[in-house]
Amino acid sequence: MTAQPTHDHLVTDRSLLSTKAYGTGRHLAARQSLYQWQTPRHDLPGIVVNELADVRGVVADVGCGNGKFVTRVREDRPDLKLLPMDVSHGILSALPGAVVADVQQLPLADGALGAVLALHMLYHVEDQAQAVRELGRVLAPGGIAIVSTNSRRDKRELEQLWRQAAGDVLGVREGPARVQLSARFTLEDAPAILGTVFGEIRTIPLPGVIEVTDAEPVVAHLASYEAWADRMGVPFLETIERARERVDETIQAEGAFRVTCLGGMLVCR
Ligand SMILES: C[S@@+](CC[C@H](N)C(=O)[O-])C[C@H]1O[C@@H](n2cnc3c(N)ncnc32)[C@H](O)[C@@H]1O
C-alpha cells in the first residue's frame, strides 16, 4: 500500500503562513464565504458571544486572521477588552490593538484572561501540546478556551473533486490529494489533545450541507490553497479549471453541487 503524502511541515511553516497563506485576508475570506450557501447557516461569532456570556475582563483571539470574530465580539460585548493576535502581521493590519504573537509562546502573564479563542488555527501549529499548555496558562481560574476545527469527514466531496480533476489533468484515474489543513487537528482528535490541560470539554457540532448552483464559490475555495500550489504534485491552475468543468457538469446533471460539512466548537474549562 502506498502511504498518503503528509503535508504537515507545509501546513505549519510560519514564513509561508505569514506571507502567501495569510499575508492578507483574501484566501481566508474565500474559504469563509463558501458557508453562505450552507444549510443550516451557523452564526459562529454568535455562538462565541453566547459562550462568553459569563466572561469578564480580557479575551484574546489567538490566530484571529481577518478579525471576523474580534469585530463581532467587540460589537456585542463592548465591556470586554479584546486582544487580537496572529503570527501574520499583514492580516492584522485592519484590526486596532492587534499583536503579532505565536500561540506556542503567548506574550501574556499567567491568568491574564477571562477567555481565549483559538478558532480554526491549532492545525497550523507545530507543537500543539505546547499551544494547549499556553491556552491553559493564560486563563484566570474559571476562564474558558473556545477552540474550533473541522471533522475528518468535513467537505469530503471537495477532496474527491480535487483528486478527480488532478487525475484528469495527469491522465490517471485519481491524482494526488491536495494539502488538507484541518487534518492535523480534527474534531475527533481535539478532545484528547485539549484534555491534557482542560478537565471539561463540551463539543458543539456544526453539521450542514453546502449547495451551489454556480461553480464559482467552489472554484474560489479551491483557489484559496494557492500558497501550497507548487506542492500539490499537479499543475494548480489547470486542475482548478478542470474542477470547474466537473462542478458545472454536476450542476447541469443534478441541479446543484453539494458538499457535506461538519465543523465544531469545543468549549474548554
Ligand atoms: C484558518 S485561519 C483562522 C482565522 C480565524 N480564527 C477564523 O476562524 O476565521 C488561521 C489563522 O491562524 C494564524 N496562525 C497560524 N499559526 C499560528 C500560530 N502559531 N500562532 C498564532 N496564529 C497562528 C494564521 O496566520 C491565520 O490567520
Does 169 fall in a domain? yes
CA of 30 to the centre of ligand 1 (A): 15
* Residue-wise pLDDT tens digits, 54-107: 999 999 999 999 999 999 999 999 999 999 999 999 999 999 999 999 999 999
Q: Find the CATH number of the domain harbouring 165.
A: 3.40.50.150
Query: Could you give the CA distance from residue 97 to residue 99 in angstroms, rounded to a whole number?
Result: 7
Does 207 fall in a domain? yes
Query: Could you give the CA distance from residue 16 to residue 156 in angstroms, rounded to a whole number?
Result: 25
Does 234 fall in a domain? yes
**pLDDT at position 149:** 98
Does 2 fall in a domain? no
Residue nearest to atom 26 of ligand 1 (CA): 65
C-alpha cell of 31? 474559504
**pLDDT at position 2:** 38
Query: Could you give the CA distance from residue 255 to residue 251 in angstroms, rounded to a whole number?
Result: 5
Residue nearest to atom 4 of ligand 1 (CA): 65
Residue nearest to atom 24 of ligand 1 (CA): 63
Question: Which H or E run includes 265?
Answer: strand 257-268
SS3 content of the chain, % helix, strand, coil (to 5): 40, 20, 35
Question: Cα angle at 17 between 227 and 159, to 5 degrees?
Answer: 50
Which amino acid makes up residue 43? D
Does 3 fall in a domain? no
CA of 115 to the centre of ligand 1 (A): 17
Query: Could you give the CA distance from residue 32 to residue 58 in angstroms, rounded to a whole number?
Result: 26
Does 45 fall in a domain? yes
Which amino acid makes up residue 247? V
Does 186 fall in a domain? yes
Range of the domain at 260: 8-268
- Work out the mean pLDDT of the chain and round it to a whole number: 96
CA of 167 to the centre of ligand 1 (A): 31
CA of 253 to the centre of ligand 1 (A): 38
Q: Which atom of ligand 1 is nearest to the CA of 17?
A: 25
Q: How many domains does the chain have?
A: 1
Does 232 fall in a domain? yes
Would you tell me how many other CB atoms lie within 10 Å of the CB of residue 129?
12
* Residue-wise pLDDT tens digits, 2-41: 344 567 888 999 999 999 999 999 999 999 999 999 999 9
